[in-house]
Structure 1
Amino acid sequence: MSMRRTTTTRRAMTAVTLTAALALALAGCGDDGGDEPGNEGSSAPSAPASPSAEDKGDSQQEDTAAGENVDPGAKLAEARGQSGLTLVINQVKRDSGGFVTVQGEIKNGGSSTQNTSNWVGQESALVAKNPNSVAGATLVDKGGKKNYYVLRDTDGRCLCTTAIVPLSPGESASVFMQFPAPPAETTEVDFTLPTFATTSLKISG
């Protein structure tokens, strides 16, 4: 039986912080200029805005976790990773606040313990603020030729699962990521997470 390891839910997020995070992420949604979406040539998100006075008072990394009311038995998509890792997507939901939440589970089906540090990507700002997270995930709207990156608050912390410990054989971790929502007419996107294969997702809601 898989052991689930989840981080605790961030206790509060003010409307100002969420609005700032959404505006920041929308600024980072890059037009790939006609290149194949999802490749390394896609534009990177803009650097995070300077933290507000309120945010500066809270410099400690806060853990975040997947939301509630997600059916762990649902399997909307699956992406294979390295060394026996598998990512199963359980929910892809468009929310009224103007963002899309992706939730799933990463399981180690291999024979050795797997590090989780590569899933944050290579952007230095993300690595510094969100170690051992899934902040490197991206949604790719091939029709609109845009990439959508994980939302961040004004202190550069992702709206995603962080502090994921190494996974021993047979163990799993529940994860979530929030992105700015593509246009309403976009109902299908490609999902990428570093070290995992790209998979197609249908957006509900």
Structure 2
Amino acid sequence: MKIRHVGQLRRAGAAAVLAAALAVSVTACNSESDAKGPSQTASASSSGGSDKGGQDAGGKTLPDTSQVIATLKSDEAGIEMVLHSAVRDQGGFLTVNGEIKNTSGKRYTTPIKWSGDEQSVARTGRSFAAMTLVDSKEKKRYYVLRDTENRPLTTTGFQPSIKAGESLPFFAQFPSPSESTTTVDLQFPGFPNAPIEIS
């Protein structure tokens, strides 16, 4: 009886150890997948649905700089807007990517007027909400889209200044013009109007 009892205890102990090991293994797997999931989602959403571009060491989204479709000179010397793409998305959107470059040799304070005059978007802080696209052919003007909480679908909350020699990457999302429209005029405070091709 004693030998049988000891055997049963050993088997019960081994089963308990095995169950504990499996529980730890499952927990570790779940933790690992949880850690990967949100970062992958954040990366996909921050890239604006594009598979081009990337992120810097600080996790900031960088535009696709493989091409330049337009370069606009600001009213202020040494400040340029470089446009890299204007791409139609399958969801009926048009996304403009670019960057503001400061080649002036001194710190540049970004104007408040870039955010537009709407009080409803003022809470998002600094943004590119004042950017518009004009379809001269269809005689339509397109404004930066808003989400369900009335926040502009554009780069927001950036620093109030750009250091000398640095740039500020940005994106702005608009309703997509009709398929027959291949060129629109981009308008933004402090820069000349510029025709850009839609890809």
Q: TM-score, normalised by structure 2?
A: 0.67
What's 2:95 paired with? 101
Task: Work out the percentage of aligned pairs sharing the same amino acid.
Answer: 39
2:72 is equivalent to residue 89 of structure 1: no
2:62 is equivalent to residue 79 of structure 1: no
User: Within 1, Cα distance between the matches of 2:74 and 2:99?
Assistant: 12
Counterpart of 2:79 in structure 1: which amino acid?
L
User: Within 1, Cα distance between the matches of 2:88 and 2:148?
Assistant: 22
User: Within 1, Cα distance between the matches of 2:75 and 2:107?
Assistant: 12
What's 2:23 paired with? none
Counterpart of 1:78 in structure 2: which amino acid?
T
More helix by share: 2
**When the two structures are aligned, how many residues end up with a matched partner?**
147
Q: TM-score, normalised by structure 1?
A: 0.65
Return the match for 1:158 from 134, 138, 152: 152
What's 1:194 paired with? 189
Which portions of structure 1, spanning 4 or more consecutive aligned residues, are displaced by more than 4 angstroms? 64-68
Verify the 8 A CA contact 1:65 1:175 in the aligned structure 2.
Answer: no
Return the match for 2:162 from 153, 161, 167: 167
User: Within 1, Cα distance between the matches of 2:82 and 2:67?
Assistant: 9
User: Within 2, Cα distance between the matches of 1:65 and 1:96?
Assistant: 15
What's 2:198 paired with? 203
Structure 1 segments unaligned to the other structure (5+ residues): 1-8, 13-63
More strand by share: 2
CA positional deviation for 1:77: 0.6
Distance 1:98 1:142, change over 3 A: same
Deviations 1:45-66 (A, max 9, x none): xxxxxxxxxxxxxxxxxxx666
Structure 2 segments unaligned to the other structure (5+ residues): 1-39, 54-63
CA positional deviation for 1:68: 4.7
Return the match for 1:134 from 112, 115, 128: 128
CA positional deviation for 1:88: 0.6
